[in-house]
Structure 1
Amino acid sequence: MTAIGLDSLQTRSTLTAGGKTVDYFSIKKVSEKLGDVSRLPFSMKVLLENLLRFEDGGFTVSVQDVQALIDWQKDAKSTREIQYRPARVLLQDFTGVPCVVDLAAMRDAMTALKADPSKINPLVPVHLVIDHSVMVDEFGHPKAAEQNVEIEYQRNAERYDFLKWGSKSLNNFKAVPPGTGICHQVNLEHIAQAVWT
């Protein structure tokens, strides 16, 4: 990910691998300055690194936010809200379609304001996997799966056309068609990245 933070705690470090050098924010370095984080759950370490990467002097992320996350270890609770910026978003079609509808509505509003609608896009990569909508109409023969997907396209043509529009019109948005697999399977086998730069 792009390192945009102020790095007030001086945790930015570099790693060279495969002939490339990348910046990262060291959990070890923050531990030396603000307290031991070795017992934080892995998911909380991900949040901690995210806060370090985007620390901006308190506009959205402050050193106090970092400290609050570390202090969470004391009694496993906190009343402080923190900022989180994911590297990407994975959507399933029933929950994802309303997101695309919102983006389309914002583009319509930009057009009504005589502004450039193409400025409305997801800020991070978004994958919408159309998975749980395939129904079983055909079964018990070799062409059943193929025919079920075909029926599905007919049944949901308007929704799929809309999502196809989103894939072609919105930057940072891709829709994975039905019949490809379930959301988490498609994510693990085709979409997910272990390292983001």
Structure 2
Amino acid sequence: MNDTSLNSFATRRVLNVKGTPYSYYSLKALAEAGLPAIERLPYTLKILTENLLRFEDGETVTADDIRALIGWLDRQRSDHEIAFRPARVLMQDFTGVPAVVDLAAMRDAVARAGGDPQQINPQIPVDLVIDHSVMVDRYATPEAFAFNVDREMERNNERYAFLRWGQLAFDNFRVVPPGTGICHQVNLEYLARTIWCEERNGTRLAYPDTLVGTDSHTTMINGLAVLGWGVGGIEAEAAMLGQPVSMSIPEVVGFRLVGSLSEGVTATDLVLTVTEMLRKL
């Protein structure tokens, strides 16, 4: 992926880490360029601001979009639409299989038209975690896990073989095999990077980890300061192919926790209370 940002606000900077230079888009430089309000934005909107700076092309992302995002502070809500490009896509097998089928169909169509089907690949990294095919046939015994995994492989052999083919056939596509763990757990413990680095035009570019995912628990990744959204299969496929996710500038609700939990009150009680309060907003 080429670094095509117009860099209208001159925010591209270089950070040297042990002698290795990394380019990045500086929010401090944006404040110095005449938009000091960036310093008071919620953390999540700062991540979105960096995303817009990095992908400013004058068409899908403009300088006015960046100003509108920072202008969120005026009313703490906005109807302005922005184009968000995540660093990666997370899928589970329930929605991932149709996506791989679509990619394979696109390759067939390109081949029939006389083109090179190998050009059809996800444009950003995609991880597919197989966790939606589990059936519990045996439990409460030492061999239950191995038995259930074996039965799962037998029942889904054709689907899993197809996904294995997809991992070998497509670039930027990885499959986490069955029996590894549930999607959002694997995302938290193994897939999240916090900061991504990639080569663009001969330079190393560093930027925050962000994602869209087709699992309803995708947003758990926000607990690691990684901005993530749950989306539908069509939106996920569009992101895979390099298309931005269109959204209105999101509202941000903050919670300030003070004191400590009383004896007998668990963290789960706290989470459920916060969730109930959010649902009333």
Give your verdict on TM over 0.5.
yes
Aligned-residue offset at 1:137: 0.6
User: Which residues of 2 match residues 122-137 of structure 1 at below 5 A?
Assistant: 122-137=122-137
How many Å apart are 1:2 and its aligned residue? 6.1
Does residue 42 of structure 1 match 2:49?
no
User: CA–CA distance in 1 between the matches of 2:170 and 2:65?
Assistant: 33
CA distance in 2, matches of 1:173, 1:133: 20
- What displacement does 1:186 show? 1.4
Partners of 2:56 and 2:135 in 1: how far apart?
46
Q: Structure 1, residues 160-194: CA drift from partner, whole Å, max 9, x if none?
A: 11111110000000111110011122122222212
**Alignment correspondent of 2:25:** 25
Deviation digits for residues 11-68 of structure 1 (CA, Å, limit 9, x no counterpart): 1111111321101111112123224122322121111001101112x12211011011
Equivalent residues, number: 196
Kindly, what percent of the aligned residue pairs are identical? Answer: 55
Inter-partner Cα distance in structure 2 for 1:141 and 1:18: 51
Amino acid at match of 2:118: S
Q: Which residue of 1 is the match for residue 170 of structure 2?
A: 170
2:38 partner SS: coil
Structure-1 separation of matches of 2:185 and 2:18: 29
CA deviation vs aligned residue, 1:82-114 (integer Å, no higher than 9, x gap): 122111111122122222122111112112212
Aligned to 1:90: 90
Cα distance in 2, alignment partners of residues 11 and 120 from structure 1 = 33
Residue 79 of structure 1 and its aligned partner are, at CA, apart by: 2.5
What SS does structure 2 have at the residue aligned with 1:36? helix
Q: Distance in 1 between matches of 2:91 and 2:177?
A: 13
Flag the structure with higher strand content. 2
CA distance in 1 between counterparts of 2:15 and 2:27 reads 14
**Unaligned 5+ residue runs, structure 2?**
198-281
Return the structure number with greater relative CO, CA threshold 8 A, min gap 6. Answer: 2
Deviations 1:96-137 (A, max 9, x none): 222212211111211221211111110001000011321111
Partner of 1:142: 142
Tell me what 1:72 maps to.
72
Residue 54 (structure 2) pairs with residue 53 (structure 1): yes
In the superposition, the TM-score normalised over structure 2's length comes to 0.66
* Matched AA of 2:98: P
- 1:4 is matched by which residue type in structure 2? T
Q: For structure 1, which runs of at least 5 residues remain unmatched after alignment? A: none
Q: Which amino acid aligns with 1:151?
A: R
Q: Which amino acid aligns with 1:157?
A: N
Letter in structure 2 aligned against 1:194: T
Output the aligned Cα RMSD.
1.6
Cα shift at 1:149 = 0.8
Runs of at least 4 residues off by over 6 Å: none
- Secondary structure of the corresponding residue to residue 105 of structure 1: helix
